Chains A and B, each alone.
Chain A
């Protein structure tokens, strides 16, 4: 049932958004060094779960990750991949959250933690698909010997999905899913929330 609430909530939200964006960038910049290492560790763990012997490697190096295998020749090249490409969507998500009125009230912080966990899982998986695509496509005869055409198609599709649709759409989906009442109040559906 559409509410008769004026557009005030939306105006306040839009006024808050630039400041929320600055706050999100600060949080992201502070968290990035630790977060990048956690992402690399998680992706390497996932890659090695079903691997015998476990040799896939994801090493954090500043803002980048080095992707490769430890059972290749010492002089084999490793792929340098910018991690910002994967986890930058934390910034718009946090900005959208911080621009809402009282995002942590009423159990909001629990739902926020769950959303951040989902976002973090998507980042680790995204990095994993980058690694698997490197192994499946770019290691010459080794790739052809260890990955079938079906595997290459599956990993290519997963990388594409996590590169573009998931990266761009997940912040909006998590925002709506985490704060349905506040978001729907913003657009005029449901009860308005306290400012």
Chain B
């Protein structure tokens, strides 16, 4: 108990403590039915539409019905956990928990949100093509490759935000 208290008194400990708290509350709010119905599902549908626009640039003739993205070649359903919201929350909570001015936090949240959106559309489109061209690789690409990359992308984005924006005027 003493060791935990001592750790939480350090800058890293405070970061881990605030991060865990903000993340837990955020995911609890996200899991509630009203938020799921009014925000998460429409957001997931928006992600499906973004992917549809990109796929149609390649002539796929894709359509979207609720959270299902379909074309004559392949269909994918985008569930909670695949819509990029988890990566956005992991990143945003890291920004909120880091000791920096709020204006810089807001800049980080906005730019991070946009970057993760783009990253997630690339993920959905690539998974669509993996499913269409190499369906036997779909599961490993979906679970293992892209989810690992999503975590690393969130962490790298957070590191870059801290270095470039949060502590911008402390650099020599």
Residues of A with Cβ closer than 8 Å to B? 2-4, 6-7, 10, 13-14, 17, 21, 82, 84-85, 88-89, 91-92, 95-96, 157, 160-161, 163-165, 168-169, 171-173, 175-177, 180-181, 183-184, 186-190
Contacts and interface: CB of A to CB of B under 8 A. Distances in A.
Nearest to B155: A172
Range class of the B interface residue count: 35 or more
A162 to B, nearest CB: 11
B81 A163 contact: yes
Contact of B151 (A2, A14, A85, A89): A89
A96 B153 CA distance: 11
25 contacts: A4-B170, A4-B172, A7-B163, A82-B143, A84-B140, A95-B148, A160-B27, A164-B81, A164-B86, A165-B86, A165-B89, A168-B90, A168-B147, A168-B150, A168-B154, A172-B90, A176-B16, A180-B12, A180-B13, A183-B12, A188-B163, A188-B167, A188-B170, A189-B167, A190-B11
Contacts of B159: 10, 13-14, 186-187
Nearest to A156: B31
Contacts, number: 114
Interface of B: 7, 10-13, 15-16, 19-20, 23-24, 27, 31, 80-81, 86-87, 89-90, 93-94, 139-140, 143-144, 147-148, 150-152, 154-156, 158-160, 162-163, 166-167, 170-172
